[in-house]
Chains A and B, each alone.
Chain A
Amino acid sequence: MKGVASGQGKGAIELRQITKRYGKERVVDAVSTTIAPGEFFSLLGPSGSGKTTTLMMIAGFADVDEGQVLVDGTDIVDVPPQRRGFGMVFQNYAIFPHLNVFDNVAFPLRARKLPNDQIQERVQQALELVRLERFADRFSRQLSGGQQQRVAIARAIVFQPSVVLMDEPLGALDKNLRYQMQVEIKEIQQRLGMTVVYVTHDQEEAMNMSDRIAIMNNGRIEQVGRPTDIYENPASNFIARFLGEANLIEGTIEEVREDVAVLCTAGGLQLRARADGNVQPGARAHLFVRPERVTIVRARGGIAADPAINHATGRLAQTSFLGNILRHVVEIEPGIRVTVDVQNASGGLFRAVDETALLSWRAADSVILQR
């Protein structure tokens, strides 16, 4: 597949304070970030968070009201979309219905007036890459959703762009197919070494594919980082909740020693967690811990006083069966419920509701969040 490989080292994107206004509302509010060449970068956020608008500003379909978009060091804000040279994959695939698969994939090459023999060769390579060689004569209405998606991808990469923009490309596919396509897209991206800016509202999708994720909310980037970093160290309650299940236990900071803080709940329970330098004693805050990091045991007397481990006892309020995991909700204080996920391993059993349960988790697995 040498022929399709993109130019290495190209495709660096830098957003400098880009802003988009609709009337008074700032849909995208001074967003800045840098994306490295060959990076798979996701914009993740709920609907209305400004992620699609940000992508459309990079693509050139939405005007940039303020700020700059730099590609390999050049500001492209005033360049019309067709001259930006990005590959694009749209949410609804946007396959041209009157052209067959071959002509769809050949479209960007014909628009660039390439000679016919080169078009033949490159389209052939792109179709092989998405495993659609045998479907060249088909029309979009004769293809399944997954196949249409592959056509859209082939069409976006056929002219060897250094940057490909994808706007929720898997949104219309069912769950199993979606996972399969995630793997395929990631594979193609790595093989061709292209920069991908990927918009999605699906956290699992973003975590599975991305080198880095930018989480957007209310037109701003709330946090940027590798999937594991963001998952383990969310910067705010919003991110903690948005990226999977999260326990957020409210309380007051009692003391801070080095990078460990002690949080005291309304009921007087003391819990330890990692904290950054901004955490001050007396402040209201939340302790964050993922449900799968909490273990549950039947209540027994005598708790070992290890400061590295948090303990809490409570009443089992609710249990749910989710297939691969068993979810328990334990009320440790009136109004404070902790979710505990237990792998449905062999012998994994539900505990009875109203039973007393002892919870424990490492202080290192919990973080103090002040936003």
Chain B
Amino acid sequence: MTVKKSRKFSDATVFILPAVLLLALVFVGPLIWFFIQALASVGTPAEMLSYAWTIITSKAVVTALMTTNWISLMVTLLVLLISYPLACYLANNQGMRFTLVLFCIVVPYFTSIIVRTYSWMVLLGRNGIINQVLLYLGVINEPLALLYTKTGILIGMVYVLLPYMVLTLFATMKAIDPSLMRAARGLGASGFYAFTRIYFPLSVHGVVSGSLIVFILSIGFFITPALMGGPSDVMIAMLIERSVEIMFDWSGAAIMSLLLLFATLVLYGIYYRVTDVRRMMGA
């Protein structure tokens, strides 16, 4: 039995081998090579540490980290607030309505981020459609500064990251037995009480995993903030790009990248634990 089982295991390993090789060849390998190359120029490990410390505590990096965290946090919160009712609606509807809403959420998901970001720029610009409509309607007297501000970044990122949250929440909510809510109502709970005591606690795993996914993706975001943000809204990924492209400071870029990679891995670790726990709960 055990022999058979282990052979089966090795059979399965063969199938993931190409993926593992590809990942090692084009991701892990170059990454290590980049770090070694970039950091070797600094000197001894002690020098490396003190250099890393100056980079991390430099004003530009600290500001970028604060901006990154703040934007990511806001994006996560906004995405969550918009996605929760949307996912709820999807999980409790079928047929045409379901298909239509899902279509509207998923199709943009398959469209290039750059295309979507440029579309938003057309909409949000100083002479963009939104400002023109609002001016025409007399809601505002002067065009709103929607583009090249934090607001612009938030709008763009929320839009791009929405599907990740909606689909994660939808999966969790779809797994909630609808008879539980019915039981709660039947046993004397108001709709609000049933939601806060039964539905929300059962969907909280989706909220946590969805938020982690969106946050992880947010902290490394580049295109949308680069195109839609103002000169002062520099996120860490943009700073890395500038260090490489403009300043040719590869060691600095490497240290910032390590920092970002570390943060991502820690968050991913939490995400992994959360989803693992959820699987255990579902059994």
B-side interface mostly: helix
Given A61-B182, A90-B183, A92-B177, CB of A98 within 8 Å of CB of B201: yes
Residues of A close to B184: CB separation below 8 A: 96, 107, 111
Chain B contacts of A94 at CB under 8 A? 177, 179-180, 182-183
Residue of B nearest to A91 (CB): B179
Identify which of B191, B193, B281 contacts A97 (C-beta below 8 A).
B281
Cβ–Cβ < 8 Å partners of A110 in chain B: 197
Q: Does A86 contact B (CB under 8 A)?
A: yes
Number of chain A residues close to chain B: CB under 8 A? 28
B283 CB-CB contact with A under 8 Å: yes
**Bitwise interface map of B from 192 to 204 toward A, beta carbon under 8 Å scored 1, else 0:** 0110011001100
- The answer on a CB contact under 8 Å between B190 and A81 is no
A85 within 8 A of B: yes
Which among A81, A159, A165 has the greatest number of chain B C-beta atoms within 10 A?
A81
Residues of A within 8 A of B115 (CB): none
Residue B269 at the chain A interface, CB threshold 8 Å: no
| Count: A-B pairs, CB below 8 Å | 68
Instruction: Say yes or no: A111 contacts B186, CB within 8 Å.
Output: no
Q: Count chain A CB atoms within 10 A of each CB in B182, B183, B186 and give the residue with the most.
A: B186
The count of residues in chain B whose C-beta lies closer than 8 Å to any C-beta of chain A is 21
- Interface 0/1 of A51-88, CB less than 8 Å to B: 00000000111000000000000000000111101111
The answer, yes or no, to whether A156 is at the interface (CB within 8 Å) is yes
Q: Specify which chain B residues have a CB less than 8 angstroms from the CB of A81 in the assembled complex.
A: 182, 185-186
**Could you list 24 examples of A-B contacts with CB < 8 Å?**
A60-B186, A61-B182, A80-B185, A81-B182, A81-B185, A82-B187, A82-B191, A85-B188, A88-B183, A88-B186, A90-B183, A90-B186, A94-B177, A94-B180, A94-B183, A96-B184, A97-B202, A97-B281, A98-B201, A98-B202, A98-B281, A108-B189, A111-B190, A111-B197
Known: A108-B187, A111-B193. 8 other contacts (CB 8 A): A80-B185, A82-B187, A88-B183, A92-B177, A96-B184, A97-B202, A111-B190, A165-B186
